[in-house]
Structure 1
Amino acid sequence: MAKTLIEIKRSLDENVGKRITIQANGGRKKMIERSGLLEGTYPAVFTIKLDEDQNTVERVSYSYTDILTETVKLSVCEEAKATEQV
């Protein structure tokens, strides 16, 4: 991904509203994987609205530094577009 905090924020700004998957460091060699919608980007953090059926919390936020230090790994899900036949 990007190498500076500004580049990370800009790339996330372009993906607001898209579905993403996050792998976060849960401590003691545990990785937590969550998915949801990138809800918003702010000067120091970004927020993700998680899928309700899979998680007990509704939203999480991470800082851009978490991505820079690879504490959080983020991937944008490419949704397959359905085509309608008439």
Structure 2
Amino acid sequence: MLEKNSLTKIKKDVEDSVGKKVILKANKGRKKTTVREGILESAYPSIFVVKISNQYDSVRRVSYTYSDILTETVEVTICDGEERKISIC
């Protein structure tokens, strides 16, 4: 079982990655998953916000809680400048 410290570790990892490109894989239920690419815009005490651009030049912001990562509802992969990927799980 995961400890409370793992939630604070997830929060710190997300806060350290603000401004970086991320890939989100979200579980939408009934075997539906969506994969989106965006920029981790900001991190707040209970949520984090990702700015997503699509092919129609519209900008959309989605927010998730840190517990979404803990319960594996959302999988966040951080892409560094060297195309290295770091998963927060």
- TM-score, normalising length from structure 1? 0.82
Gap runs ≥5 in structure 1: 82-86
Q: Distance in 2 between matches of 1:27 and 1:57?
A: 24
Alignment RMSD: 2.3
Q: Share of identical aligned residues, percent?
A: 43
2:17 is matched with which residue? 15
Task: Give deviations 1:20-74, integer Å, cap 9, x for gaps.
Answer: 0000001110111111000000000000000232786610000000000000000
1:54 to 1:70, Cα distance in 2 relative to 1, 3 A: farther
1:66 is matched with which residue? 68
State the shift of 1:5 in Å.
1.4
Q: Distance in 1 between matches of 2:73 and 2:28?
A: 9
- TM-score, normalising length from structure 2? 0.79
**Larger gyration radius, structure 1 or structure 2:** 1
1:29 to 1:56, Cα distance in 2 relative to 1, 3 A: farther
SS at match of 1:70: coil
Letter aligned with residue 46 of structure 1: F
